[in-house]
Amino acid sequence: MSQTGSSVALIPARYILAVLGSIAMAIIYGLKVNLSVAMVAMLNHSALAHHGALSVDEKVHVNAEPVCQGSNSTEAVEDGPFIWSEPVQGIILSCYFWGYLVSQVPGARVAESFSARWVMFFSVLINVVCTLLTPVAAKMHYVAMIVMRVGEGIGGGVTFPAMHVMLASWAPPNERSVMSAIVYAGTALGTVISMLMAGVLAGTLGWESVFYVMGGLSCLWMVLWLWLIQDTPSKQPLISQEERDLITSSLGSGSASGHGGEPKPPVPWRKVFTSGPFYGILIAHVCNNWGWYMLLIELPFYMKQVLQFNIKENAVVTAIPFLTMWFFSMALSKTLDALRSRGKITTTIARKTATFIASAVPMGCLLALCYIGCQRGLAVTLMTVGITAIGGMFCGLLSNHIDIAPNYAGTLMAITNTAATLSGIIVPIFVGQITHGNQTIGAWRVIFFVTIALYILEIIAYLLLASGEEQPWNKGDKPASSIEATEAEATPLNTKESKQSYNGQEQ
């Protein structure tokens, strides 16, 4: 075992996990958004126009009076085989969330109780199978398409909880921000890569290739995941003994540190739902997700409807911030972890700092957008800065579940992410109602001010309630005397001297 471990010592096993986890998130998000691009090539736009069912872009072109002078122009789109009305298109695109909402908590409990590694594997497997079957399903009936999308949602819903369980077992506290940022920044990269790749494939090889190529390439990840990843360091043969000791000693027996086989106590639901730090994460997650969907999904419509960017320009200005977000999240997480390891800041301050950046900066950018008028260059700059700053949430609130209760990190993530997912459903409806027949700067100011108000709520709630310290109920519903007795019997790996030794290694 030691020989095997030393052969991969140049790349720490925990960072192999982080990179493959990031690729998994990129796959899930990539397969989630590729239909949005492919559907343009799948629809028979001529037939839909003939039947009076104009596409969204056509409605904007017909009904909206340009607010700013730009280069917005309609572009000819080759007709596909499907005559799906606008309501049917909306159902197909939104039904992903039906499966996403219902699978998170059950998936989290399975990951915590049995194996997060296998939950992640089957999550990607379900998405790959449904993606490869999408062309066949589309040709059968749009109901079959709905079934495929719901299936993808079920698989996608368990990814965040399962990865939280993996990180709780693999990430030393002083590296938790960096590893979380690496993993969850994959969502941004997956989105932009998928959007660009799907556009090229649909335009050159046809819409079916979007699903066959992207689904087929994702199969490579499944092989690597089963070969290189285990649930815990204690089960991992491809790891050096030094790294195994570093991880287990830093996590201790009170965390989900992978001592293997020890059953976790049942979730103390009453204590969870009466916990201030938990509500700090919950409120911040919901509000931040509203801003996330507003900036990443709806702002491109603002660029088109109000600032009159054409489709090609819109694709470029939408893609760039994903890359800057990735770089920023890596730099911020590394900085915060370095400060924590040197004792300059606490975990609580690190989480609050990252979350404040991820909310205050986008809030300021949205406020500025309300008053810059038709300055298109400045608008692009503000959008880029705002979306880039959102990357702070990866090492902020999204990492915080593991801090307060590593034994239940997956379940806590499932609860807050389920609530936060509702923002993804409500935001498009809200924007559609406000801008219906009124695609003006004034209408978008209303939208932006509502988002700003939610950002203010997030900042206040998180700064007042959030904590980076492990909560007593992480041990379950055991009485305090029982917890103290358990800790007294802990191995030397939990002692103060051992933790000091670990901190010395980190520095």
pLDDT 10s digits, 239-258: 999 999 999 999 874 444 44
* 166 and 290 inside one domain: no
Same domain, 216 and 356: no
Burial class (CB in 10 A: 0-12, 13-18, 19+), 54: middle
> What pLDDT is attached to residue 404?
96
Residue 439: band (very low, low, confident or very high) from pLDDT cuts 50, 70, 90: confident
- In terms of domains, do 345 and 231 share one? no
CA distance 80 to 63: 25
Question: Is position 259 within any domain?
Answer: no
pLDDT of 118 over the 90 cut = yes
- Overall domain count for the chain: 2
Over residues 303-327, the mean pLDDT reads 69
Beta-ladder partners of 43: 82
Has residue 70 been placed in a domain? no
Contact between residue 267 and residue 111 where contact means Cβ atoms under 8 Å apart: no
**Above 50 in pLDDT, residue 475?**
yes
Cβ–Cβ < 8 Å for 155, 127: yes
Q: Note whether 167 and 295 are same-domain residues.
A: no
Residue 332 confidence (pLDDT): 95
Cα separation of 53 and 59, whole Å? 9
- Per DSSP, 371 falls in state T
- Asked if residue 109 and residue 220 are part of one domain, the reply reads yes
The residue type found at 464 is L
Domain range for 347 is 267-473
Are residues 165 and 28 both part of a single domain? yes
Instruction: For residue 258, tell me if it sits in a domain.
Output: no
Structure tokens that stand for 188 in this block: 């941004």
Q: Does the residue 6 lie in any domain? A: no
Domain boundary among 191, 222, 239: 239
Q: How far apart are CA 6 and CA 244, in angstroms?
A: 12
> What is the reported pLDDT for 295?
76
Per the domain annotation, does 411 fall within a domain? yes
| CATH number of the CATH domain containing 109 | 1.20.1250.20
Place of tokens 């002083």: 174
Give the mean pLDDT of the chain.
82
List pLDDT tens digits, range 20-44.
999 999 999 999 888 877 887 888 8
Query: Worst-scoring range by mean pLDDT, 55-69, 144-158, 187-201, 379-393?
Result: 55-69
Q: Show the DSSP H helices in 205-309 as ranges.
A: 207-228, 241-251, 269-272, 276-293, 299-305
| pLDDT band at residue 197 using 50, 70 and 90 as cut-offs | confident
More confident site: 477 or 80:
80
Same structural domain for residues 177 and 277? no
Same domain for 214 and 131?
A: yes
Whether 110 and 33 map to the same domain: the answer is yes
pLDDT of 435 reads 78
Do residues 205 and 348 share a domain? no
Percentage of the residues of the chain whose pLDDT score is greater than 90: 53
